[in-house]
Chain A
Amino acid sequence: QVQLVQSGAEVKKPGASVKVSCKAFGYTFTDSFLHWVRQAPGQGLEWMGVINPRGGSTNYAQKFQGRVTMTRDTSTSTVYMELSSPRSEDTAVYYCARDVGLTVGRAFDMWGQGTMVTVSS
């Protein structure tokens, strides 16, 4: 079955980095870009960045430059999003989402189930 499965909920103290994983099933991992999108409680969707699993190149939203790192492991078809020095405002559900390129006009046709990250002292 084609799906993205994310790691479980995290609770972190401010300043301790958090790393979320997203494992791809049912399709060729290196064929599609993978994005990270977050949603604070009761708020809208916010794009964080994208990774190309084929070569590992990344592009981050300006807001997250210097604070987010996206990596991938092709041997396990998994991408990772690490957020450093999180603060309470980073409390949100973090989603990974697949972009199959021009087939769907660079939209996101499949999403992970989301990972709740809570930053609290």
Chain B
Amino acid sequence: EIVLTQSPGTLSLSPGERATLSCRASQRVSNGYLAWYQQKPGQAPRLLIYGASSRATDIPDRFSGSGSGTDFTLTISRLEPEDFAVYYCQQYGSSTWTFGQGTKVEIK
């Protein structure tokens, strides 16, 4: 099973700043099957990025994903108030899906 490790655990930033979130896999993620989700308190997760770098429907272009192999990054170019939330990465491989432990982006 591929283990995903996200860093940092918490990111304290101000609105307008750039956020860079990391997701590292214990083994190569095949075919770039790496996704990112946003979750706000009391809500279900929302798909942001799939295939490592493709934005999901209706996701603003301030969200971008990059990376391949074992190292992936989610970047939020300029934080809006509604972006403060928890972010999870997820991978698919060998008929199994796993999630990272999450990164909380909080207001500084």
> Which A residues contact B (CB, under 8 angstroms)?
35, 37, 44-47, 50, 59, 61-62, 95, 97, 104-109, 111-114
- Min CB gap A106→B, angstroms: 4
State the CA gap A97–B33 with chains docked (Å).
17
User: Could you tell me which residues of chain B, from 62 to 108, have a CB within 8 Å of some CB in chain A?
Assistant: 88, 90, 92, 95-102
Pick the contact of A44: B31, B96, B97, B101 (CB < 8 A).
Answer: B101
Given contacts A47-B97, A111-B45, A112-B44, contact A106 B88 (CB under 8 A): no
Identity of the chain A residue whose Cβ is nearest the Cβ of B48 in the assembled complex: A107
Pair A107/B32 contact, Cβ less than 8 Å: no
29 A-B pairs with CB atoms under 8 Å apart are A35-B97, A44-B99, A44-B100, A44-B101, A45-B45, A45-B88, A45-B99, A46-B99, A47-B90, A47-B97, A59-B96, A61-B96, A97-B45, A104-B35, A104-B47, A104-B54, A105-B92, A106-B92, A106-B97, A107-B35, A107-B47, A108-B37, A108-B45, A108-B47, A108-B90, A109-B56, A111-B44, A112-B44, A114-B44
Interface set of B (CB-CB < 8 Å, partner A): 1, 31-35, 37, 39, 44-47, 50-52, 54, 56-57, 88, 90, 92, 95-102
A-B contact count (CB 8 A): 70
Q: Is the CB of B95 within 8 A of A59?
A: yes
Which residues of chain A are within 8 angstroms of B57 by Cβ–Cβ distance? 109
B33 x A105 contact (CB < 8 A): yes
Cβ-defined contact, B1 with A62, below 8 A: yes
B87 to chain A, nearest CB (A): 11
8 Å CB contact of B102 from A44, A104, A111: A44
Q: Inside 8 A of A106's CB, which chain B residues have their CB?
A: 33, 92, 97
A108–B45 alpha-carbon span in the complex (Å): 9
Question: CB-CB < 8 A to A107: which residues of B?
Answer: 33, 35, 47, 50-51, 56, 90, 92
Instruction: Give me the 6 closest cross-chain CB pairs, A-B, nearest first.
Output: A107-B35, A105-B51, A111-B44, A107-B50, A106-B92, A105-B50
Cα distance A45–B99 in the bound complex, in angstroms? 6
Report chain A residues within 8 Å CB of B51.
104-105, 107
